[in-house]
Amino acid sequence: MFPIHRPRRLRTHPQLRRMVRETVLTTNDLIYPLFAVPGNGIAKEVKSMPGVYQLSVDKIVEEAKVVYDLGIPAIILFGIPEDKDVDATGAWHDCGIVQKAATAVKEAVPDLIVIADTCLCEYTSHGHCGYLQVGDLTGQVLNDPTLELLKKTAVSQAKAGADIIAPSGMMDGFVQAIREGLDAAGFQNTPILSYAAKYASAYYGPFRDAADSTPQFGDRRTYQMDPGNGREAIKEVELDIAEGADMLMVKPALAYMDIIWRVKEATNLPVAAYNVSGEYSMIKAAALNDWIDEKRVVLETLTGFKRAGADLILTYHAKDAARWLQ
């Protein structure tokens, strides 16, 4: 009855465990989201996301320097404009808040990669991701006219200095439209990180506080994916690859690790996972109540995303994780 195989032999010492570890999380895997707002000297904490702030451009620059010094290679910018309208003007205007933040960060920290979230919900008066039919109170976004807005937005963000364009509105054909727009404007080398499999998730709640993007009516289920669908994610991924996507994203991450795995198995492109606001806030709330060991839970969760197949992880934990990994 003597055991022939003893897997515990390789677990007896910390250094030995480190030597045989299959999945290793590093700061190179991390992308830190930032929320830009008009004004100066503003750092307003998001009530539902402890430790996350709406920041004016000068504060965004300060934060970008901290992020870079921690070894995190990239940030992704979201914007809250001063005014909103049905044309999402703040998204594509040359003086838009994300455009200003991108330019300022690239001037101050040129080696930090700046990703621009290319969506319209923060900028429309109704909170949906594009044009609506006049009188529509359901949120049925008009797909093809919205593509023109996304194209304009992507080009303006690239002109402002964004290194990567990340369309997140889940419009059909949005990657192709943006690729055509970028190429025509001379940005052939600007990559597209597509939110290829973005689900209509309840985990986005705190983000809508941070980005002031809650729909005024209806919901986003007519354009974001149904949480019960897995095969459809691969269909969306294949379409985005055919349209010219350079990288792919699965959002959210925690309840969709099977999707991360399936997307990774289906493609040779880099795969990103977005560790979204609700996932962050649950851990923060539990940690603030001393119910969990925050450091261990965060690092275990992020490692799980990477083990599932994520090459990149967008996470509000990025700065803490980078410090812990040091």
The answer to whether residue 251 is catalytic is yes
**Burial class of residue 291, CB neighbours in 10 A (0-12, 13-18, 19+):** exposed
State how far the alpha carbon of 257 is from the alpha carbons of 201, 205, 262, 292, 309, in Å: 14, 20, 9, 22, 8
3-state secondary structure of 225: strand
- Annotated binding site for Mg(2+): which residue ranges? 236
The CA distance from 48 to 203, in Å, is 12
Give the active site residue among 59, 152, 251, 306: 251
The answer to whether residue 47 is catalytic is no
The residues, any chain, with a CB within 8 Å of residue 233's CB and separated by 6 or more, are 196, 197, 225, 250, 259, 262, 263
Partners of residue 211 on adjacent β-strands: none
The residues, any chain, with a CB within 8 Å of residue 99's CB and separated by 6 or more, are 93, 156, 157, 159, 160
Give the active site residue among 84, 100, 198, 284: 198
Q: ∠296-324-166 over CA atoms, to 5°?
A: 95
- Annotated binding site for 5-aminolevulinate: which residue ranges? 208, 220, 277, 316
- Annotated binding site for Zn(2+): which residue ranges? 119, 121, 129
Structure tokens at 77: 């910018």
- Please give the DSSP secondary-structure letter assigned to residue 76: E
Chain centroid offset of residue 276 CA? 8
Catalytic residue ranges: 198, 251
